[in-house]
Chain A
């Protein structure tokens, strides 16, 4: 029952956001700063995540495959495709569920319990337009960009690990990766990261926006926001795979 009520409240919040999303002048400034916070400031962690995912995957693939039976370039193919279809988007999504989700829910939760949201409303602002819309918009725009960075860095990480570990030379890694490179896979990854961007920013906005009960309330909201974000990233990943692959 509570879950149904929560979902209703969430849907209503999204609907309110959708209806007011043409009031661009209200949230223009906030949108720009969210682009920076969600996008630009996530680049370092995304590079790190991408590089290590690619590197580990290369070592494991080489270990699991008996390369006497296959051409060694297959390591590049497997790593490249796995990164592009699945890992860059999902691992990136989970990392950002922590980083971006926690920030949004803490920020909005603090504004709620210190009555800053009431203050906005009482001045005649639509607080949803002002606070939620720019965060969700920045999420759906920036996550695909971050995905592309993560995927590129993943391939580079794999390539470097392959070379350093003496598994296969960089040129052969790239040859393998290129021979199994399909632009549709990139489109799929972009769609996924777009969905993850929406899921994470909307859930954490929702949890923060409706936080109550002081510092403890903000803590609870943030915990729920990050946990739910992770769960829904995994669920939507599965749903999209079932739907689109």
Chain B
């Protein structure tokens, strides 16, 4: 359970958003939508205390995220997996080692067990047998899938996705959407997906939070979103349908 309470963030005197409040229940899939540059990625980073707010709080399973000691925070972060926008793969090591990386440092698994788990994760994201490839040899879609395999390797409780389908062709986007749904079902994970792709929202999300004009402009279920007459949301949806 994640509770976001009155969160406000600015960089210098540039206000990103203010007074954002909503909850994310266990097991649900939430999409955070909004125009490019409205502060979606900034919001995502707050969920993991990679950025700190000007004011407001986030409680994760009842714990006050921004008041943890650094040691507590590091433990807390291990409950999260994040798929960053460009994959954020470590380019100094190959694909296999990228996925094995958290296992090597945070578990006592032996080489055989590590290999088995990495292979399983690669299979889950439909990339069997590409472990030996360098990260620069991977296409955009593959990078995201490898990033996803790495994000789930420690079996997190929460999975955060930053624009998982942006920059991908429609077919690959579709595959990633299916993967997100599959992850949520199979691993029983709470997912938070940042996107400006309405197509993706409709195929994966249960709840939707819409960031606009420096605030949480609208929040509700997907069904409610389809019926909503909230003008900025209607505009946003209409504009995206032209893109599809």
Contacts and interface: CB of A to CB of B under 8 A. Distances in A.
A206 B167 CA distance: 32
Contacts of A114: 86, 88, 91
Interface stretch (A53-61, A63-71, A115-123): A115-123
Interface in A3-30: 26
A177 to B, nearest CB: 44
A192 to B, nearest CB: 32
A123 B90 CA distance: 13
Given A26-B105, A118-B88, A124 B82 contact: no
Interface string B75-101: 101101010111011110000000001
B50 interface: yes
Contacts of B74: 124-126
B46 interface: no
A114 B74 CA distance: 21
Contact of A123 (B70, B77, B91): B77
Contacts, number: 46
Given A114-B88, A124-B77, A119 B82 contact: yes
B105 A115 contact: no
A123 B102 contact: yes
A146 B7 CA distance: 51
A244 B89 CA distance: 47
B165 interface: no
B86 A115 contact: yes
Contacts of A125: 74, 105
Contact of A122 (B75, B82, B85, B86): B82
Interface residues of A, number: 12
Contacts of A122: 48, 50, 77, 80, 82
B106 interface: yes
Given A123-B102, A124-B106, A125-B105, A115 B84 contact: yes
B142 to A, nearest CB: 16
A41 to B, nearest CB: 15
Interface in A103-154: 114-116, 118-119, 121-126
B5 interface: no
Contacts of B50: 118, 121-122
Interface of B: 45, 48, 50, 70, 74-75, 77-78, 80, 82, 84-86, 88-91, 101-102, 105-106, 154
Given A114-B86, A118-B88, A123-B102, 17 more contacts: A114-B88, A115-B85, A115-B86, A116-B88, A116-B90, A119-B82, A119-B84, A119-B88, A121-B77, A122-B77, A122-B82, A123-B77, A123-B78, A123-B154, A124-B74, A124-B78, A124-B106
8 contacts: A115-B84, A118-B82, A118-B84, A118-B88, A119-B88, A122-B48, A122-B82, A123-B105
